[in-house]
Amino acid sequence: MTDTQIVTAGVILIGDELLSGRTQDTNLGTIAKWLEPRGVRVGEARIISDDGPVISATVKAFSDRFDYVFTTGGIGPTHDDITADCIAAAFGLGISEREDALDHLRERYSEDELNAARRRMARIPDGASLIRNPVSQAPGFQTKNVFTMAGVPSIMRGMLPDIERRIKGGVTLKSITVTATGRGEGDAAAPLAVIEANNPGVSIGSYPFFNADLRGVNFVARAESADVLAAVKMELEALVETLGG
């Protein structure tokens, strides 16, 4: 992959606790922000339940569509941690307890502590490479273009450094922000559409903000070319001046 190629990723967030609202996801934001400066764009994210066929089908579909796939959740020691089996099923692979994964766990647990539940975390799809986990030692793993990580945010973040050497990014998106105060999105909707239409390859979003003393909107433009963005910034600043914000 080169710095002129678009490289994409899909993110799959696995867990009934996410769908019930008991747990608020932060992993998507962390992964997307980590990938962006590395030239990898998140094309889709999906939250799914702890349902085996759904996990396997989603993983396979994302693997076929995106250059890289990141999954979080479902690789712990409990009965509902089924992600490893689902990844294996998605690619028609076997799965077994691996000695190298047990060695990672032995950095944290004694042999007496490595009960059947904890040994489940050493069950890895055939041919997968381990992802080091410096936080709790239970490894994640890479199967083809799919990186399978823990759902606990601090552990997931700890796994990212071991993934960096395995991905190759492409062209990065640059962004600029222009702020209008005392105005809302509706005040600029029509002229924003014109600016975006006149600048192919540029996406423009508007993001309102409110507090006790102030309201306004941030206009954010994204594009591959810094020169194009500089010209768009001038257009947005002129728009803000016209709006009086």
Q: What is the pTM of this model?
A: 0.88
Phi first, then psi: give them for residue 70, nearest 5 degrees. Answer: -120, 125
Give tens-digit pLDDT for 26-38.
999 999 999 999 9
- Say how far apart CA 96 and CA 234 lie, in whole Å: 59
Domain boundaries, the chain: 7-164, 174-243
Give tens-digit pLDDT for 102-138.
999 999 999 999 999 999 999 999 999 999 999 999 9
Asked if 221 and 237 touch (Cβ cutoff 8 Å), the reply is no
- Looking at domain 174-243, what is its CATH homologous superfamily? ACT domain (3.30.70.260)
- Say how far apart CA 126 and CA 143 lie, in whole Å: 9
**Fold agreement (7-164, 174-243):** no
CATH 3.40.980.10 assigned to domain 7-164? The reply is yes
Looking at the predicted structure, is the pLDDT value of residue 216 above 70? yes
Classify residue 21 as exposed, middle or buried by CB count within 10 Å of its CB (0-12, 13-18, 19+).
Answer: exposed
- Say how far apart CA 71 and CA 59 lie, in whole Å: 8
Segment 37-46 shows an average pLDDT of 96
